Structure 1
Amino acid sequence: MKLHFTIDYHTHWGERIEVVLRMYLPQGKVNECSIPLDTTDGAQWKGDFVYTHPAALWFEYLYVVRAGEQTVRREWKHAWRRLRADMTREYFLPDSWQAIPPCDHLYSAAFCPQQEHEPAEGPVHDSYYDRSVAFRIHVPQLEEDELPAIIGSIPAIGAWQTDKALPLTKRGQNEWGIALSAEGMLFPFEYKYVIINRHNGQVKRWEEGDNRVTQYKGLERNQTLVYHDGIIRMDYPRKKVAGVVIPLFSIRTEKSWGVGDFGDLMMLTDWAASVDMKAVQLLPIYDTNTTGSWADSYPYNCISVYALHLQYLDMNRLPALADKDKMERFRKRAAELNALPALDYEAVYRLKTDFLKESFRQNGAQVLDTKAFRQYFDENSFWLLPYAAYVYLREVKGTADYRQWGEYACYDAHEVYKLVNGNADAAEQIRLTYYAQFLLYSQMKEAHDYARSKGVLLKGDIPIGVCRAAVDVWMEPHFFNRNGQAGAPPDAFSANGQNWGFPTYNWEAILQDGCRWWTRRLQKMSEFFDAYRIDHVLGFFRIWEIPTHAVHGLLGYFTPALPLTIEEIQNSGLDFRKDAFTRPYIADWVLEPLFGEKTALVKRVFLNALGYDWYEMKPEFATQRQVEAFFGRQKQSEERRRMKEGLYELISNVLFIEDPRQPEHYHPRISAMQSSIFQTLTQREKESFAALYEEFYYHRHNSFWYQTAMQKLPRMIEATPMLACAEDLGMVPECVQWVLNELQILTLEIQSMPKGMDGRFAHLENNPYKSVATIFTHDMPTLRLWWREDADTTRQYYHEILQKDGEPPADIPGWLCEEIIARHLFSPSMLCLISWQDWMSIDDRLRNPDEESERINIPANPRHYWRYRMHLTVEQLMAEHEFNDTVRTLILRSGRANDFLKEHQ
């Protein structure tokens, strides 16, 4: 069997085109190889491949661009070209590069719930003639009465007579094709694809653009010519979706045990479907327990990227306890916790843990002996065994910090296997963990299947980081940098930046492993969700890394990055003075505004005098962590808190930060122009630093960060059928939009955070279709809180965006909230996902009278208690017919009430 590959593609210097070829053999065996192509002009690439043994059933291939050992880019994940293998034939394969098309979302689980898998015997294949020519085309989402067809200039394909167009047959997910005998065909010839009525054959729509033209003059016997023509050139359906965003823990039903759970999610799905919402978006649902205290309420600090959080187990779906008195006590306590206005994390966790233990004693052995559990265990043991060992060791050692676990401080798969399978003391806890995770998996899977049956897609959230003490870090420490802390630079919500405390990633190790850790994580997530939010997508371009000795984010720097050499700084017009620019500048005029009457005390306790009006931190207080340890982490008086924050500010008062990996290379300190040390510069030096800062943070890294993101994100996007949506807020470099456009990842559009040159507010009509429109996220105030925060901003929005006259009302009324939501629904964005609090704001009668209680998170506070819950139950919400009619009408009028999900099940 001989294969002739040809593709037109303009490469850059140092790049080459290769074909990834897979031969599928009997008994499920697969042979894969890469075939290098040759070029004479860097534009057209050709190559031949002869395959002789063993006999293959079918084969598939895809084109990639490589530079050295690195894959620079790949074709669209649905571009695999699949053909029946005939060892006696010669195949001519003239191809064009298939990038990710704008209609890629129509292949996702969000818009095509039933993903098509290849049958065991392989894909559907064409029959071959002595001389064969075959055509393949992708046609996303046809109407029920439609079929694609081919028509062209020669009689074999209709001679342009519309009643003689040849219907195509389905070959895969949205892929259609036909094989024809080439006997008597006159090459070259022209052709096009059309859409016909499947009942009467009439042409309904023609493909746009120029006619397609064959490139070969003719074929000999046992030769096959195959045209894989990519996506049909027609407008694809621009489906639009409305939905609700709410943390799972916030859902409240009459039967909740003090926290939202997977059963409650099914009830919320009922409500969403009843008002024509087609999406429910959640925050992360993974286990976060390290201390058992309310500090574990932070849903982004997961200790496992696979294990689900126990608080989300619906206890009502488990068999009742045989001891009726005990069962009644549990139900009574659950009702008490459910009546609280906010989540009592610690009490709920204790209650559910206690009940789970009772349930396990009663039902555990029977459940763990089922076929369903054994299948679950086989598919999940790679993470479940280490996680079960971790939970056991966390309890017996009294800490989640695995570095304090003695002989288990360093993960050893053999020792862990012995622990979970041969340690009698650990057996009961291990089996309890298996039981809990199996029940959680089963319930979440059921909730997902239920949502799909209602035509509602579930959108998950994949955190950018993991807990420093996570089982994943324990298992595979080479993927993480524990000497750094991930965070975010300063923004409108946190003047000192954010320090999440997560370890940063060792991307070099992750990439060497083919991004297996990330792709497997996403693949498991796709069992529960149809779409996902990529938390802090900027972290895949570069992460804000903060040294472990720092508390605030101001002493951080981007990594990877291209730090400045001393020569580059000098060439900018700034005379580089290392001691003056990299050590904290502390003088009397700096101290007085910070500490006032406590200045003398601060000098005496924390500072050493260096000379007249000049000081340095004492060695025992040289870092922010040392200062933090001195003051302690417990709640303090406002006076002590201000002093501690003032000392943090002193330590951050530098112009440059030396790169820890490249000595004598420097990062301009973020927000340095707002620091007091900046004021000590001459006017010329200020201008030079400002220009250097602008170049460094907004231009220097664009190409570099584009390449780093393109090494990672394509692998993630290809890993699952989920629809990828980016959280692309913050200090966004220009290259982010390049990558998101190329990979067809949805952006996040918030009107109060414009990305372009719109001014203070974005214009919703300019939202790209490939985007998610929302009003505010969980890190921001609700619409009602935002309205009250800044009168000048509100007034500008009221006049310029809403086009209203006069003074805006002090508190935003329901009718105005309804108008703002309607404007978002009418935007071009594919998804319009509004927080539950903002949906409720449109009804003055139903909205929460305590609007401050609706805040989910305060980003500036790293120890925020995540405890917001709905003030109404879902049952009450379902009974509010007038409100539900209003919501349904808003969605209907905006064109977001279609039933496309049900249509394609």
Structure 2
Amino acid sequence: MIGHRSSGILLHVTSLPSRYGVGDLGPEARKFVDFLAASGQRYWQMLPLNPTSPVHGNSPYSSDSAFAGNPLLVSPERMVQDGLLRQEDLRNIADVPVDRVKYAKAHEIREALLAKAFADAGARPEIQQAMTAFRVEHGAWLDDFALFRALKAHFQGRPWTAWPEEARYRDASALDAYRKTLHNEIDLFCFQQFVFFRQWRALRAYCRDRSVELIGDVPIYVNEDSVDVWANPELFKLDDRLRPRVRAGVPPDYFSETGQLWGNPVYDWERMEQEGFAWWVQRIRHNVELFDLVRLDHFRGFVACWEVPAGHETAMHGQWSEVPAEAFFRTLAKAFDPMPLIAEDLGTIDDAVRDVMRDFKLPGMKILLFAYGPDLPTNPYAPHNHVQNCYVYTGTHDNNTVRGWFEEEADLETLARVDEYLGFPCTSETVAAAFVRMGMQSVADVAVFPLQDILGLGAKAKMNVPGVANGNWSWRMAPDVLNDLGGEARKRLLNITTLCGRGATSR
């Protein structure tokens, strides 16, 4: 149970301004925290922080590690402040256009700066001492991750399933030999993680000092070409060649005649239960150390998962496989009291999912953009049907912005229902503010709004188009937005937050 009225903003770190190609953990992140505190917001919600890859469209939901941080988010300015670089190291870097995220350029800049800092750190005993302590603290996942990354580079980027047999099957003597041969590369990957987590901890401390809490996001599945599958093949339904026997997805429904075939390997939940769900407990604990609350993506898959036999090109011929949900969440409840989890219960939800959420008092999500169909009177996303123990959103990273939806997606009948429900006609200029007000007025304990809706931005500002592989995850706020928000916009947000009992003085 949440137990208090509050609100927050959804904004991924990559969307912050920066002159280095992508938003990062530096000065603009702190400016955003200051804005949240000044406007009465309790939460900053963001997308997963794990490493991303152009191979997977730079999606934060598709990573080669469930534990590592994304070096793209490292702030060059903070590296200077932390004594890892000198100011002159940044002077020759040309400014990168800030209209959209430039992933390739951002990667090039961070790779060069982190390599420079790593080379200089060799002569810095205090850095080496801090690095050693970091490697001991995070060794449970870091050792395998750094070796995995070093081997992947050594084998010209090939997936681990195409590595030589001794590496693919993790022959102990062969891995020891690789560790000796690739020790410098391994140390570099560990150093990158050291810098990321050092900066993250500093930012989280900054948030705590200003009473801002962080909401993270845990994708349910991991990539086949990930250190998690390579290092723990027994936890997945793989064949003798270490290839998935079944793949994850969702069945055909109203939105897709063939379903969705995501392709990720599926967990062997029976084996996980035998091991006390140790991998998942470790993963949740790791995220709880990073965030105050964690959203579990595709919560439906923690109760039953859709398994598609390997080789199928669609998800049509899959089948449901039950997950030991009660035992799993009972284990989590013992490890985390209270459980700091939010259930992403969107899509087709059955009684079994609702029962688990009720039994373990897990709050779900209500999306206002889904409320205004012909079933409006009984629609669970409509404000008059909300429950207290939930999080209400205007939309998520997978939705259009409210204004974009109003201008490009909603039909005339839907818009008429919106106007009738509100009691006044909306326009492109007023609809986002009206939806924010509805969210604030909801009985839901927590209201969260994408920054795009606070700003009233159109479709060009949407974060992701599901089913489209490329061109997503690149929206960024303009460099002067936070300065503008420091005036009238901040006052308006603080006013509606306070009026609806969600401000700091209301708690």
Q: Which amino acid aligns with 2:326?
A: M
How far did residue 796 of structure 1 move? 3.8
Whole-angstrom distance in 2 between the partners of 1:428 and 1:531: 36
SS of the residue 1:832 aligns to: strand
Contact 1:486–1:501 (Cα < 8 Å) also in 2: yes
Equivalent position to 2:131, from 373, 381, 390: 373
How far did residue 717 of structure 1 move? 3.9
Uncovered stretches (5+) of structure 2, i.e. residues with no partner: 238-243
Contact 2:48–2:60 (Cα < 8 Å) also in 1: yes
Contact 2:121–2:127 (Cα < 8 Å) also in 1: no
* Structure exhibiting the larger radius of gyration computed from Cα positions: 1
Contact 1:498–1:859 (Cα < 8 Å) also in 2: no
Q: Does 1:798 align with 2:405?
A: no
Equivalent position to 1:438, from 170, 191, 194: 194
Q: Does 1:399 align with 2:157?
A: yes
Equivalent position to 2:346, from 713, 729, 734: 729
Contact 1:364–1:432 (Cα < 8 Å) also in 2: no
Contact 1:368–1:374 (Cα < 8 Å) also in 2: no
Aligned match of 1:887: 493
Q: Which amino acid aligns with 1:865?
A: N
Aligned match of 2:178: 419
How far did residue 484 of structure 1 move? 2.0
Aligned match of 1:349: 107
Whole-angstrom distance in 1 between the partners of 2:25 and 2:87: 24
1:73-131 CA-to-partner distances (Å, cap 9, x unmatched) read xxxxxxxxxxxxxxxxxxxxxxxxxxxxx5xx4xxxxxxxxxxxxxxxxxxxxxxxxxx
Contact 2:134–2:194 (Cα < 8 Å) also in 1: yes
Whole-angstrom distance in 2 between the partners of 1:514 and 1:322: 44
Q: Does 1:467 align with 2:223?
A: yes
TM-score (norm 1): 0.52
Whole-angstrom distance in 2 between the partners of 1:449 and 1:323: 24
Contact 2:85–2:117 (Cα < 8 Å) also in 1: no
Whole-angstrom distance in 1 between the partners of 2:316 and 2:406: 29
The within-5 A match list for 1:478-557 is 478-481=234-237, 482-490=244-252, 494=256, 496-557=258-319
Aligned match of 1:741: 358
Equivalent position to 1:288, from 24, 32, 52: 52
Aligned match of 2:399: 780
Whole-angstrom distance in 2 between the partners of 1:876 and 1:262: 18
Whole-angstrom distance in 2 between the partners of 1:874 and 1:719: 41
Equivalent position to 2:440, from 804, 825, 828: 825
How far did residue 803 of structure 1 move? 3.0
How far did residue 367 of structure 1 move? 6.4
Whole-angstrom distance in 1 between the partners of 2:10 and 2:85: 38
Contact 1:400–1:469 (Cα < 8 Å) also in 2: no
For the aligned residue pairs, the C-alpha RMSD in angstroms reads: 2.5
Using a 3 Å threshold, how does the CA distance of structure 1 residues 866 and 287 change in structure 2: closer, same or farther? Answer: same
Using a 3 Å threshold, how does the CA distance of structure 1 residues 438 and 246 change in structure 2: closer, same or farther? Answer: same
1:815-863 CA-to-partner distances (Å, cap 9, x unmatched) read x42222112111111110111111111xxxxx4xxx2321211112245
Contact 1:243–1:832 (Cα < 8 Å) also in 2: yes
Whole-angstrom distance in 2 between the partners of 1:553 and 1:758: 33
How far did residue 787 of structure 1 move? 1.2
Q: Which amino acid aligns with 1:479?
A: L
Q: Does 1:261 align with 2:24?
A: yes
Using a 3 Å threshold, how does the CA distance of structure 1 residues 462 and 793 change in structure 2: closer, same or farther? Answer: farther
1:122-178 CA-to-partner distances (Å, cap 9, x unmatched) read xxxxxxxxxxxxxxxxxxxxxxxxxxxxxxxxxxxxxxxxxxxxxxxxxxxxxxxxx
Aligned match of 2:141: 383
Which ranges of 4 or more aligned residues in structure 1 deviate by more than 6 Å? 320-325
Q: Percent identity?
A: 25
Using a 3 Å threshold, how does the CA distance of structure 1 residues 267 and 418 change in structure 2: closer, same or farther? Answer: farther
1:237-289 CA-to-partner distances (Å, cap 9, x unmatched) read x411110001221122xx44221112243321111111010000010001133
Using a 3 Å threshold, how does the CA distance of structure 1 residues 249 and 414 change in structure 2: closer, same or farther? Answer: farther
Q: Which amino acid aligns with 1:267?
A: K
Q: Which amino acid aligns with 1:820?
A: F
Contact 1:522–1:720 (Cα < 8 Å) also in 2: no
Using a 3 Å threshold, how does the CA distance of structure 1 residues 414 and 518 change in structure 2: closer, same or farther? Answer: farther
Using a 3 Å threshold, how does the CA distance of structure 1 residues 365 and 372 change in structure 2: closer, same or farther? Answer: same
How far did residue 870 of structure 1 move? 1.5
Contact 2:367–2:381 (Cα < 8 Å) also in 1: yes
Whole-angstrom distance in 2 between the partners of 1:860 and 1:294: 15
Aligned match of 2:168: 409
Whole-angstrom distance in 1 between the partners of 2:20 and 2:6: 31
Whole-angstrom distance in 2 between the partners of 1:321 and 1:462: 30
How far did residue 371 of structure 1 move? 3.8
SS of the residue 1:435 aligns to: helix
Aligned match of 2:206: 450
1:462-492 CA-to-partner distances (Å, cap 9, x unmatched) read 1101011110100010111212221223456
The within-5 A match list for 1:495-894 is 496-560=258-322, 708-720=324-336, 723-753=340-370, 758-759=377-378, 762-788=381-407, 789-804=409-424, 811-814=427-430, 816-841=431-456, 847=457, 851-863=458-470, 865-873=472-480, 875-879=482-486, 881-894=487-500
Q: Which amino acid aligns with 1:855?
A: K
Whole-angstrom distance in 2 between the partners of 1:355 and 1:839: 35
Q: Which amino acid aligns with 1:868?
A: W
How far did residue 526 of structure 1 move? 1.2
Using a 3 Å threshold, how does the CA distance of structure 1 residues 418 and 720 change in structure 2: closer, same or farther? Answer: farther
Contact 1:752–1:760 (Cα < 8 Å) also in 2: no
How far did residue 528 of structure 1 move? 1.0
Aligned match of 1:251: 16
SS of the residue 1:558 aligns to: strand
Aligned length: 493
SS of the residue 1:342 aligns to: coil
The within-5 A match list for 1:36-55 is none
Higher relative contact order structure (alpha carbons within 8 Å, sequence separation ≥ 6): 2
Q: Which amino acid aligns with 1:858?
A: V
TM-score (norm 2): 0.90
Using a 3 Å threshold, how does the CA distance of structure 1 residues 712 and 363 change in structure 2: closer, same or farther? Answer: same
Uncovered stretches (5+) of structure 1, i.e. residues with no partner: 1-101, 106-237, 561-704, 842-846
